[in-house]
Amino acid sequence: MKQYAQMSASELSALKNELEGAFSKYKESGRKLNTTRGVPSDEQLALCNEMLTCLSAEDYKSTNGTDCRNYGGLDGIPEVKKIFADLLDLTPDEVIVGGNSSLALMFDNVSVNVSHGVRDGKPWQSQGQVKFLCPSPGYDRHFTICNYFHIDMIPIAMGNDGPDMDIVEKLVASDPMIKGIWCVPKYSNPTGIVYSDETVKRFAKLKPAAEDFRIYWDNAYAFHGLGNSKEEIPNIIRLCEENGNPNMVYVFSSFSKVSFAGASVTCMASSKSNCEYIKKRLTAQTIGPDKLNQLRHARFFRDAAGVLAHMEKHAAILQPKFKLVTDTLKRELDGLGIAQWTNPSGGYFVSFDSLDGCAKRIVTLCADAGVALTPAGATYPNGIDPKDSNIRIAPTCPPLAELKDALEIFCLAVKLASAEKYLSA
Amino acid sequence: MKQYAQMSASELSALKNELEGAFSKYKESGRKLNTTRGVPSDEQLALCNEMLTCLSAEDYKSTNGTDCRNYGGLDGIPEVKKIFADLLDLTPDEVIVGGNSSLALMFDNVSVNVSHGVRDGKPWQSQGQVKFLCPSPGYDRHFTICNYFHIDMIPIAMGNDGPDMDIVEKLVASDPMIKGIWCVPKYSNPTGIVYSDETVKRFAKLKPAAEDFRIYWDNAYAFHGLGNSKEEIPNIIRLCEENGNPNMVYVFSSFSKVSFAGASVTCMASSKSNCEYIKKRLTAQTIGPDKLNQLRHARFFRDAAGVLAHMEKHAAILQPKFKLVTDTLKRELDGLGIAQWTNPSGGYFVSFDSLDGCAKRIVTLCADAGVALTPAGATYPNGIDPKDSNIRIAPTCPPLAELKDALEIFCLAVKLASAEKYLSA
Distance CA A396, CA A144 (A): 23
The confidence score (pLDDT) of residue A227 equals 78
When the pLDDT of each residue in chain B is averaged and rounded to a whole number, the result is: 96
Distance CA A351, CA A394 (A): 9
CB atoms within 10 A of CB B242: 13
Backbone φ and ψ for B101, nearest 5 degrees, come out as -135, 110
Using alpha carbons, list the distances in angstroms from residue B147 to A90, A113, A287, B151.
33, 17, 17, 6
Distance CA B411, CA B391 (A): 12
DSSP structure string for A323-359: HHHHHHHHHHHTTSSSEEE---SBSS-EEEEESTT-H
Cis preceding-peptide flag for A386 (omega within 30 of 0): no
Does B70 sit within 8 Å of A40, measured CB to CB? yes
Determine which of A97, A286, A296 to mutate to test the interface with B (most B C-beta atoms within 10 Å). Answer: A286
State the Cα torsion A305-A311-A313-A318 to the nearest 10°.
Answer: -160
B30-63 confidence digits (pLDDT tens): 888 888 888 999 999 999 999 999 999 999 999 9
Distance CA B310, CA B47 (A): 8
Determine which of A116, A141, A258, A290 to mutate to test the interface with B (most B C-beta atoms within 10 Å). Answer: A290
Distance CA B193, CA B351 (A): 10
DSSP state of A70: S
Residue A292 in contact with partner chain B when CB distance is under 8 A: yes
Distance CA A303, CA A207 (A): 37
The confidence score (pLDDT) of residue B422 equals 96
Does A55 sit within 8 Å of B53, measured CB to CB? yes
CB atoms within 10 A of CB A301: 22
Distance CA B382, CA B257 (A): 26
Burial bucket for residue B90 (CB in 10 Å: 0-12, 13-18, 19+):
buried
Q: Provide the sign of the torsion angle of the four alpha carbons A287, A289, A293, A298, taken in this order.
A: negative
Closest CA to B266 of B250, B249, B253: B253
CB-CB contact of A346 with A312 (8 Å) = no
Distance CA A379, CA B405 (A): 63
A130-183 confidence digits (pLDDT tens): 999 999 999 999 999 999 999 999 999 999 999 999 999 999 999 999 999 999
Checking ipTM against 0.85, whether it exceeds it is yes
Question: Is residue B298 left, alpha or beta, with left meaning phi > 0 and alpha meaning psi from -120 to 50?
Answer: alpha
**E strands within A239-349?**
249-254, 266-269, 339-341
Distance CA A418, CA B17 (A): 98
Burial bucket for residue A322 (CB in 10 Å: 0-12, 13-18, 19+):
buried
Q: Provide the shortest C-alpha distance from residue A57 to chain B (in Å).
A: 5
Cis preceding-peptide flag for A398 (omega within 30 of 0): no
State the Cα torsion A10-A14-A16-A19 to the nearest 10°.
Answer: -160
Residue B425 in contact with partner chain A when CB distance is under 8 A: no
Three-state SS sequence of B159-199:
ECCEECHHHHHHHHHHCCCEEEEEECCCCCCCCCCCCCHHH
Distance CA A144, CA B285 (A): 9
Q: Residue A154 forms beta bridges with which residues?
A: A133
Distance CA B268, CA A286 (A): 15
B241-299 confidence digits (pLDDT tens): 999 999 999 999 999 999 999 999 999 999 999 999 999 999 999 999 999 999 999 99
Q: Which residues of A touch B73 (CB under 8 A)?
A: 262
The residues, any chain, with a CB within 8 Å of residue B409's CB and separated by 6 or more, are: B23, B26, B31, B33, B366, B369, B370, B371
CB-CB contact of A175 with A209 (8 Å) = yes
H or E element that contains A133 = strand A131-136
Give B 62-121 residues with CB within 8 A of chain A.
Answer: 67-73, 99-101, 103-104, 107, 111, 114-115
Residue B50 in contact with partner chain A when CB distance is under 8 A: yes
Q: Residue A217 forms beta bridges with which residues?
A: A183, A251
Distance CA B76, CA B250 (A): 17
> Would you write out chain A's pLDDT as a tens digit for each of its 425 residues?
789 999 999 999 999 999 999 999 888 888 888 888 889 999 999 999 999 999 999 999 999 999 999 999 999 999 999 999 999 999 999 999 999 999 999 999 999 999 999 998 999 999 999 999 999 999 999 999 999 999 999 999 999 999 999 999 999 999 999 999 999 999 999 999 999 999 999 999 999 999 999 999 999 999 999 977 778 999 999 999 999 999 999 999 999 999 999 999 999 999 999 999 999 999 999 999 999 999 999 999 999 999 999 999 999 999 999 999 999 999 999 999 999 999 999 999 999 999 999 999 999 999 999 999 999 999 999 999 999 999 999 999 999 999 999 999 999 999 999 999 999 98
Burial bucket for residue B297 (CB in 10 Å: 0-12, 13-18, 19+):
buried
Using alpha carbons, list the distances in angstroms from residue B102 to A282, A336, A358.
13, 57, 47
Question: What length is written for chain A?
Answer: 425
Cis preceding-peptide flag for A185 (omega within 30 of 0): no
Distance CA A324, CA B358 (A): 76
The confidence score (pLDDT) of residue B425 equals 81
Q: Which residues of B touch A262 (CB under 8 A)?
A: 68-73, 287-288, 290-292
Does A287 sit within 8 Å of B101, measured CB to CB? yes
When the pLDDT of each residue in chain A is averaged and rounded to a whole number, the result is: 96
Residue A148 in contact with partner chain B when CB distance is under 8 A: yes
Distance CA A220, CA A102 (A): 8
Largest CA distance in chain B: 78
The confidence score (pLDDT) of residue B378 equals 94
Closest CA to A67 of B266, B123, B42: B42
Residue B1 pLDDT greater than 80, yes or no: no
Residue B289 in contact with partner chain A when CB distance is under 8 A: yes
Long-range contacts (CB closer than 8 Å, 24 or more residues apart) made by A1-10: A1/A334, A1/A335, A1/A336, A2/A336, A3/A335, A3/A336, A3/A337, A3/A338, A4/A336, A4/A337, A4/A338, A4/A418, A4/A419, A4/A422, A5/A337, A5/A422, A6/A337, A7/A422, A9/A423
Give A 351-370 residues with CB within 8 A of chain B.
Answer: none
Three-state SS sequence of chain B:
CCCHHHCCHHHHHHHHHHHHHHHHHHHHCCCCEEECCCCCCHHHHHCCHHHHCCCECCECECCCCCECCCCCCCCCCHHHHHHHHHHHCCCHHHEEEECCCHHHHHHHHHHHHHHHCCCCCCCHHHCCCCEEEEEECCCHHHHHHHHHCCCEEEEEEEECCEECHHHHHHHHHHCCCEEEEEECCCCCCCCCCCCCHHHHHHHHCCCCCCCCCEEEEECCCCCCECCCCCCCCCCHHHHHHHCCCCCCEEEEEECCCCCCCCCCCEEEECCHHHHHHHHHHHHHHCCCCCHHHHHHHHHHHCCHHHHHHHHHHHHHHHHHHHHHHHHHHHHHHCCCCCEEECCCCECCCEEEEECCCCHHHHHHHHHHCCEEECCCCCCCHHHCCCCCCEEEECCCCCCHHHHHHHHHHHHHHHHHHHHHHHHHC
Q: Which residues of B touch A100 (CB under 8 A)?
A: 99, 287, 289-290
DSSP state of A207: -
